[in-house]
Amino acid sequence: MDRARPLCSRRRFLKGAALAAVPYALLPDARAGAQSQAVDYPLAEWQPASTSNYTESDRPDSYRVDRVVIHVTQEKYDETLPIFQNPKKQVSAHYVVRSADGHVAQCVREADVAWHAGNWDYNTRSVGIEHEGWVDQPAYFTDALYEESAKLTAAICAKYGIPRDRDHIIGHYQVPGSDHTDPGPNWDWPRYIRLVNLS
């Protein structure tokens, strides 16, 4: 029986499929690229807040960034992230730092306005960093938390030209109109500012 064209053997078919797949195998994993593009701070993990909990912007073009506001979550790390992801909560911060190991999650892009300070003017001009723990439980303020948070704050200060001092790195309690007390009396400000300046 004559055939107009030879049938493709299984081996030839597999070779062709393998050759066709080579260009795709050489491309970087799309998920890896998305992760690195999503964060402003390279050591952070992207854990996005609900878009209902912050204001999209293009800072520093739309608003000058000249402050870092230090917060304490009054919640566990794993319970804070879902709060920011819940569109009914109307709250967020740019970053959350875990107590045990200083791991950093980014929840809002620095270009956007997180709703963390309770004062619109301060929200527009600051980056908010939450720290896992409670103001009256200093054991949550571990060496790792201080050190990793200080590196993050130093990077933010360098990026926006923010002086690394107590006039520009402030506690939530210092925001005008705030009724919050965080980071509280157990936060070691001299140590923290020293670490920021060493980073």
Q: Which of 130, 132, 147, 148 is catalytic?
A: 130
CB atoms within 10 A of CB 81: 20
Query: How many residues are there in the chain?
Result: 199
Q: Are strands 113-114 and 67-72 parallel, antiparallel or unpaired?
A: unpaired
In the numeric block, which tokens belong to residue 14? 């597999």
* Catalytic annotation present for 130: yes
In the numeric block, which tokens belong to residue 68? 């870092």
Question: What residues contact 108, with CB distance under 8 A and at least 6 apart?
Answer: 48, 49, 53, 54, 84, 92, 93, 94, 114
CB atoms within 10 A of CB 157: 23
Phi then psi for 3, rounded to 5 degrees? -115, 140
Q: How far does CA 8 lie from the centroid of its chain? A: 53
Report the C-alpha gap between 176 and 108 in whole angstroms. Answer: 23
Q: What is the dihedral angle through the alpha carbons of 69, 187, 74, 122, rounded to the nearest 10 degrees?
A: -10
Q: How far does CA 123 lie from the centroid of its chain? A: 16
**Positions marked catalytic:** 130
